[in-house]
Structure 1
């Protein structure tokens, strides 16, 4: 018999209310009410739950009821008198049954007891145990336990149900254990998650909170949805599901598998390391905008997540506002990403194997260069072969060069340099999961290997990992231990950077007369010698490789003291070692200009060791008292990190085959060694409260102490509060067939950030061991400490509205946030004349405001069809409210950078970031331009005061645009027909600008003497007086243009991000082969890219398209 459970959301660890009895009293005054409304009012006053068959109550007409301090049983008997129905009391559940069915099970027989748990072993609080064919049953208690007296019914079947879980039916005759049948031993039942599981909890890392009563902002992504987007790089998939989670596209490193992307949540609130030498490089360590990652309760590095097997992911929750993150205190201002892995399943030996084969193809659609004949013709048009009596080249040299190039063309020389260092990579990934056990102890073993070759020849990133997980459960104690080992091997391409090939001339011959790669190329117009990059990759033994090994152990314990209290303890440690070598063969063309007796060949070695440990201890409380639900915890946690590194440079090797340090002639300079040690300790408390599931409150308080701050500022408090209203639970809206959910929440709070280098508050000295004085060795101040260094804090305010219609047919959420980051901490590089090279300071204030919109709709949901569409959008405005004097000095350094301008050097075409009050951390700077003067072909500039000049001036740079788009987001479709499914996702950005460096470097100021060029080089150029063109005179090509507004363009883009098609079978031949599941999936990433800015993408390493073919088998 099908029973409809009229329950609110039940949290996995939620405790039930007090044990209600038929003697409770109620007060009612209802007119023309239905049975459902009658039951809802009773539950509101008593907390008692009702179970009934819907067809019973639909037949009853509406009625009036008035009761003052009346006994519940007596009232129910009166209401159902003459209806043929009656109420049975089973602990805190009232079961509505037909009177003529009662006699069939009044005769009591055996008694059975046991536990109902989920696949993780957690008690399924609120699950029901029913006798099939009757309405008799019980609800399990806080430990997941139940006890049921069985009536004398033949062929009895027990039915176990819980919202969001698969219903399990067990025939009594199939239970063979006599002790279980005698009621002496627990019978344990494990329920598994339904395919249509309700997302009814929010995983915060410290605790699971009922979503119905939660006021924080969180986005939850299931592991199965991640696999639909990509089989690698978990981080990149998150931006499909959360519009405020954005990866900053690295136009330099492209698809390099060894480059970890830089990303942020809800805009950038920090500036980072201000050093002009590396300002354009992607950095992940000490990144001021990096969120923290919590894996199974413990803090882990972004590198670990980047290299993680996606098949291990159960869910990822992105916590964004103060109410969601403040419990993490000083680490939380950039957001928190909480990851839960798949737990082992109880039962027979289970094995799941996934094989993914990948084809990785380079994407060169953004490159459009001349072939050999076209390049020679361009040189003629540019006047290179016209005789100039004042030029240093004579007529013989000019004609000689022209004839040699024409002869090369006649021989068919037309080298496609862009294709030479590239390959189509064929990769494979293997994932094995083994689990089993019983209800008291379970085990899980995971094995993982991933070979990822990039599109540059001979580069590689391979990952190898294994994990052993043991879950032990005894009565009210749960212990979980996870032990893992991971190894990552990374190898860079010996073929150099892709830009080395983009620059090459297509009429240069690649091989000598013996078929070997040429060692170098002679300069056509000078005595310079150019290294053949193909010789470097194919003929030398250059290499760069890094090996990283990590061992970790994570031990956690849950001790359930009673139905309301439990203690959760966790301790984990991680040990990481890394080693790297970069070797340049003495036969390399890089030493072509070196004297014969100078040492050739170099080797750089590096070693790093990290050890960290973390402890968490919490006391958690959950209780429902009538219509009041309370959930909270208090706890402490500590973290300690040790890091040491050593790097040494060697020079002088006999050959490329003898690259060991034992063959080096000398050590260059002195070895560099560093040692870092940080500690963090914090105490926290959190509270989640709801009244009748209508009025909601969340609060948290944390107090942190860190060794990274100055002696005057070691400790700091953090806090948050959230309020909300579930309008759909109001009496006049409850049960409305159209409006399923209408929820409004608001939060505020303060969080902090610790993303900066250790010892920032302390003076750092360099020892002069080579110079001894009367008092000993001398020292030099390298970095100035700052004992006044304050905690960086972010004050944030959020509002969110959620609406769901027609029982989930349509869902939308709209959120607004306003966040101000105070006392930003940034490392400042200063001239050595200061006596030191850097220091850390609190530099000012940054504001981020924005909104987020999420929409999804289940358009079709039938037995065979499921069609879901989704879309999301985010807007963020970043503004610098205040800067310190130290940041103004950095701006002066940017201006000074251009003071040494040399027209032939393309490095001056770069636009460097500057920071000014009223501007943005993503502002684009340069000099404002009025365009090209038609009368002279020269560029006309505008100073800040509005005056006109023909000279580019560094101190006259101003804001020309902003790389942050006005709106960004994603949309897509999820379609399923029987065993076939399709998922497609698109991403978009509109309203931002981009500094198109391709124009000054590859088009306007390209060195046509020595480099190839973009085909646009001859278009839109000033030639004659009166020409109105966007590009300057081609005769001025030797002087590289510095940043101007001519190169800032509106950047609107649309990206076909991913497409996956899957076929999943669980019946038919699968069962015959004794498999539980067979799956085939095809996934394609970076399918297409459209942008309003035509620029080269992947200048040092090209972008790529991936085609994945996955086979999944479960036994």
Structure 2
């Protein structure tokens, strides 16, 4: 109610403010006339005035309001184009030169000719123009020319050229340092949030957890219009609303975020209201997703039965009765196969997904009040049946301006409904043997594919260990798994400019989030077969609420004194968030129930309703200094002092800083004649930033009540031991780079060297079970991340006037991480890793990217057994975990993107390919579905290589152990490691623009029409042969985007 009242008040204020001075409001033409009169009065004695008129348009032919027109000889004499793009300018003498400039457009100069008074000017976009003007940091803008940090800025149009569906997926193609890791579990699940790295992970991932909103402790910070948001807000953001995205990489750019910037910062700016006549924009996005099953190499029915026979499934020499039952089962399955039973289970849970999204935006206003509002709906249908994600949003932005004040308010309301597939994990369908019938001959679906007592003379001699569930039966039940969310965000800001050099701002942000999760598994599900009626069926419900308050006060001072330019920015800010949730799990439902919780028998055994209440507070002071001498010599300095409740109660405050220097060589006098050099800049920064994503409970001890009670009452136990002296997680950064551009932007190169040291390194170290505590947060060792990144672009064809452009881009990143200072502090953890047959170790001189395993010499042709290499190089048949060494790394030597685009007039085509080479992968398909197949797993379908590539007879040269070895588990060895080089077609797009077509205007009322077709993730060339995902498959997509303006 308070938020509603607050919004209504400011809406009334805006409307009133925009209409409170109608007599003082002048049209653009009146302003031009007024300016004309002033100039005439000043120059009347000197000469007769010359009136220059015309129309200013963009490359589409659309009128451009607010374009600055100035005299080249005296830039103080200036005027602006009106809402219709027309202008009127008065000069006092012929031969003058007029300059037409507008943010995001290439500046144009027009020399006046005698007797000519009308000049129509067309401004063309400069891809780097906006990027060259300012760096948008999310707090305040900084002059790009004098900025020394490592940043990249991409326009909304560049994002839409890659894809029309997802901001994050487009960004990963544009920037090599922004990496979305392949999700080997959830694939293309529309409800799964991506895992993102910026120049490699920023901290230790030991026991890292993801919070309720999908935020990963190692992911970058996301800032939307100056407000910190969750990754899901950016993932669901309408790509058509995005004006620009800026990536802040080094401490020189992220230190202002203090304890939150260690993993990089992604700053997203949406389209702001602009003055001009009311315009309506529509965007329609349509996509077809097709399941990619090319990585699954499963056996057909005949192959599966033959594999089982060779593996000894149907052989029992110890009992004639059992052998007869096994042969009866084999013959039964063989007969079905000969009748034509060969079920392709992989196709059953998948579908061709269709996604459609629609957004409408209305924008306009006058010189004093501008409004931009819009609405969006998107229905993303997943490739697994029943899965999908519906998102919707509404927003309105209002800006009121006068000579001294700018007042703005942004209101966003977003929501989604995420539905998971009732067909369960895709791996269930992959692993189901193809010799089973999916349905009976009459079309009915059996609960089990085969019953334990269905074959054999007696229950004891049955060759089937358990009933084999039919996955289709469970999928057709009335199960439910969905989550809904609604977020209301309001950002109010007032700016006061007492002088041209001084500016003050104050802002208040309010964010309210409500989320509900509901899951229901009906009692008919086969997983409840062995439970009592009071335990069959399960219902789970969770309500989560979060309220965030953020307040800030900014000040900025800018002054140019002769050749010295100085800008000072300062901010004081505070933030408080309150999060709480209530959850309940109920069991015991009657058959046929729809999951109504009042029909449940009881709470789940040994459980109780869940409840969490978490409150976080933080305060901060930020200062930034930017200085340059004659635009040549640059110096930047930033300081942030943060206080937060997320760290040790004895260490609540910490300061972060950065310093940077730069040299614009192209501004030197000896470079003036080198007109072909646009930019030649070298820069370096050093500083610190932090990460407070470790969680508040690391510094606090937590007690939990026992579920049951005794005669003395209900007791409590210590479930978490806090560390009140827990230090802040600090990242110490160094970055050095060069920016080079020549021939009016035809060729450009950006190169960076970076080195990041995470020290202290906060790690929740596992403790021995006897302590009763699972882990304890400690400052252990440090991590060094070192590497280089680059991006090069060249335009073999660069004809802006005729709009004929061809560009080629090549980008890449190489980095290596190492741990230092661990000593033997976590030897117990590493020992557990070895004993559990895992391949990650935390050892000085190595990183969590390294793959640890015992080296393999191969398979002995005589016995079909594996030969191991010990640390001393000797060979043995006996496996010893102490012989584990680092045998590979999942970190590639180089990865990046190769892209090209060609534009001819209104037609444009673009292609982008990602590449990676030098990394290794532990192929779990080889380990779990080719080898290491125990007797109990023979019932599942397996990879074809288990039949064709395993050792069978003495003398066979094979990569994998004997096919009949089903009684033991294969250890992790280097035999299952493969190179993971790849080339992927990330995006292929084709676009056509219809601009100011008279027939389209007159018959359809459309000013501009743009149609774009996309192919995303359409093919892959890889050296490893493995299943890309297990729980949800990946997809290839074909999409169409339509953009209209009226």
TM over 0.5: yes
Structure 1 residues 392 and 1103, CA gap change in structure 2 (3 angstroms): farther
Find the partner of 2:571 among 615, 635, 655. Answer: 635
* Pairing partner for 1:477 from 405, 414, 423: 405
Q: Which residue of 1 aligns with 2:272?
A: 343
* TM-aligned CA distance change 1:150 to 1:373, over 3 Å: closer
Q: Does 1:452 align with 2:380?
A: yes
Does residue 724 in structure 1 map to residue 657 in structure 2?
no
Change (3 A) 1:1107 1:125: closer
Query: Which of 900, 908, 916 lines up with 1:989 in the alignment?
Result: 916
Equivalent residue, structure 1, for 2:197 = 264
Query: Deviations for 1:423-479, whole angstroms, at most 9, x for unmatched residues?
Result: 001121111111122111111111011111111100111101111111111221111
Q: Note the residue ranges of structure 2 that are not aligned, 5 or more in a row.
A: 1-34, 54-63, 111-120, 456-462
How far 1:839 moved relative to its partner? Answer: 2.8
User: Does 1:925 pair with 2:925?
Assistant: no
Match of 2:425 among 487, 491, 497: 497
Equivalent residue for 1:1070? Answer: 1000
Match of 1:117 in 2: none
Q: What is the correspondence of 1:234-633 to structure 2 with a 5 Å cutoff?
A: 234-272=167-205, 274=207, 285=214, 287-385=216-314, 387-390=315-318, 394-522=322-450, 525-538=463-476, 540-595=477-532, 597-633=533-569
**Aligned equivalents of 2:993 and 2:676: distance in 1?**
34
Structure 1 position 881 matched with structure 2 position 817: no
Are 1:792 and 2:729 an aligned pair?
Answer: yes
In the TM superposition, what is the alpha-carbon distance from 1:140 to its structure 2 partner? 5.2
C-alpha distance in 2 between matches for 1:598 and 1:403:
40
For the 8 Å contact 2:310–2:964, the answer to whether it is kept is no
Separation in 1, partners of 2:140, 2:231? 22
User: Within 2, Cα distance between the matches of 1:310 and 1:242?
Assistant: 17
* Residue 925 of structure 1, CA deviation: 2.0
The separation in 1 between residues aligned to 2:580 and 2:177, in whole angstroms, is 35
Query: 1:913 aligned to 2:840?
Result: yes
- Determine the structure 1 residue equivalent to 2:21: none
Residues 1:645 and 2:584 aligned together? no
Q: Secondary structure at the match of 2:950?
A: coil
Instruction: Check conservation: 1:128, 1:138, Cα contact below 8 A.
Output: no
- Aligned partner of 2:595 in structure 1 is 659
Pick from 894, 899, 907 the counterpart of residue 967 of structure 1. 894
Contact 2:248 2:266 (8 Å CA) reproduced? yes
- 1:409 shift after superposition: 1.9
Change (3 A) 1:163 1:594: closer
Q: Which one of the candidate residues 806, 824, 844 is aligned to 2:743? A: 806
Are residues 1039 and 528 of structure 1, via their aligned partners in 2, closer, same or farther at CA, if it must alter by over 3 Å?
A: same
Match of 1:714 among 652, 655, 674: 652
**Matches of 2:194 and 2:265, distance apart in 1:** 17
Any conservation in 1 of the 2:823–2:844 contact (CA below 8 Å)? Answer: no
1:941 and 2:882 matched: no
- Residue 18 of structure 1 is matched in structure 2 by none
CA distance in 2, matches of 1:354, 1:135: 44
Q: Bigger shift: 918-927 or 523-532?
A: 523-532
- Alignment of 1:999 with 2:937, yes or no, is no
Matched, 1:1090 2:1021: yes
Shift of the alpha carbon at 1:753? 0.8
Q: Which residue of 2 aligns with 1:84?
A: none
Q: Label 1:942 to 1:288 Cα distance change in 2 as closer, same or farther (>3 A).
A: farther
Instruction: Please say if 1:1052 is aligned against 2:989.
Output: no
Contact 2:106–2:125 (CA under 8 A) maintained in structure 1: yes
Deviation sequence 1:230-250 (CA, Å, 0-9, x none): 222211222212111111111
Residue number among 847, 856, 863 corresponding to 2:784 in the alignment = 847
The answer for the alignment partner of 1:1102 in structure 2 is 1033
The change in CA–CA distance for 1:141 and 1:432 in structure 2 (over 3 A counts) is closer
Question: Structure 1 residues 673, 366: closer, same or farther in 2, change over 3 A?
Answer: same
User: Which sections of structure 1, spanning at least 5 residues, go unmatched?
Assistant: 1-90, 96-101, 113-122, 171-189, 899-910
Q: 1:216-261 deviations in whole A, cap 9, x for unaligned?
A: 0001111011111122221122221211111111112111111101
In 2, distance between residues paired with 1:1109 and 1:148?
42
What is the CA distance between 1:325 and its match in structure 2? 0.8
Does the Cα contact within 8 Å between 1:250 and 1:282 map onto a contact in 2?
no
RMSD: 3.1
Larger mean CA deviation between 1021-1030 and 425-434 belongs to 1021-1030
Instruction: Return the alpha-carbon distance in structure 1 between the equivalents of residues 128 and 927 of structure 2.
Output: 55
**8 Å contact 1:106–1:151 — kept in the other structure?**
no
Query: 2:4 corresponds to which residue?
Result: none
**Which stretch shows the higher mean deviation, 711-720 or 193-202?**
193-202
Question: Is contact 2:251–2:687 with CA below 8 Å preserved after alignment?
Answer: yes
- Relative distance call for 1:1027 and 1:857 in structure 2 (3 A) is same
CA contact (8 A) 1:127 1:139 kept: no
Q: 963, 971, 976: which is aligned to 2:903?
A: 976
Give 1:1042's aligned residue: 971
Q: TM-score, normalised by structure 2?
A: 0.87
The Cα of 1:1010 is off from its aligned counterpart by 0.2
Query: What is the Cα deviation at residue 505 of structure 1?
Result: 1.0
8 Å CA contact 2:474–2:526 kept in 1: the answer is: yes
In structure 2, relative to structure 1, the CA distance for the partners of 1:714 and 1:592 (3 Å cut) is same
Q: Which moved more, 1:291-300 or 1:919-928?
A: 919-928
- The structure-2 alpha-carbon separation of the partners of 1:448 and 1:364, relative to structure 1 and needing over 3 Å to count, comes to same
Relative to structure 1, the CA distance from residue 110 to residue 315 in structure 2 (aligned partners, 3 Å threshold; closer, same or farther) is: closer
User: In the alignment, is residue 698 of structure 1 matched against residue 636 of structure 2?
Assistant: yes
What is the rounded CA distance, in whole Å, between the counterparts of 2:531 and 2:706 in structure 1? Answer: 31
Q: Distance in 2 between matches of 1:404 and 1:929?
A: 41
Other structure's SS at 1:760 match: helix
- CA shift in 2, pair 1:235/1:1037, >3 Å: same
Partners of 1:340 and 1:1079 in 2: CA distance? 22
User: Does the CA-based 8 Å contact 1:1064-1:1077 persist in structure 2?
Assistant: yes
Matching of residue 763 in structure 1 with residue 704 in structure 2: no
Residue 1097 (structure 1) shift: 1.0
For residues 925 and 269 of structure 1, the distance between their equivalents in structure 2, rounded to whole angstroms, comes to 22
Q: Could you say which residue in structure 2 is the equivalent of 1:56?
A: none
Q: Is the contact between residue 509 and residue 550 of structure 2 (CA under 8 Å) also seen in structure 1?
A: yes
Secondary structure of the residue aligned to 1:795 is strand
For residues 317-357 of structure 1, give each alpha carbon's deviation from its aligned partner in whole angstroms, at most 9, with x where no partner exists. 00001111111111111111111100123222211111111
Deviation, structure 1 residue 723:
0.6
Larger C-alpha radius of gyration, 1 or 2? 1
3-state DSSP of counterpart to 2:964: helix
Deviation larger for 315-324 or 750-759: 750-759
CA distance in 2, matches of 1:392, 1:983: 69
Query: Do the aligned partners of residues 492 and 828 (structure 1) sit closer, same or farther apart at CA in structure 2, a change above 3 Å counting?
Result: farther
1:15 corresponding residue in structure 2: none
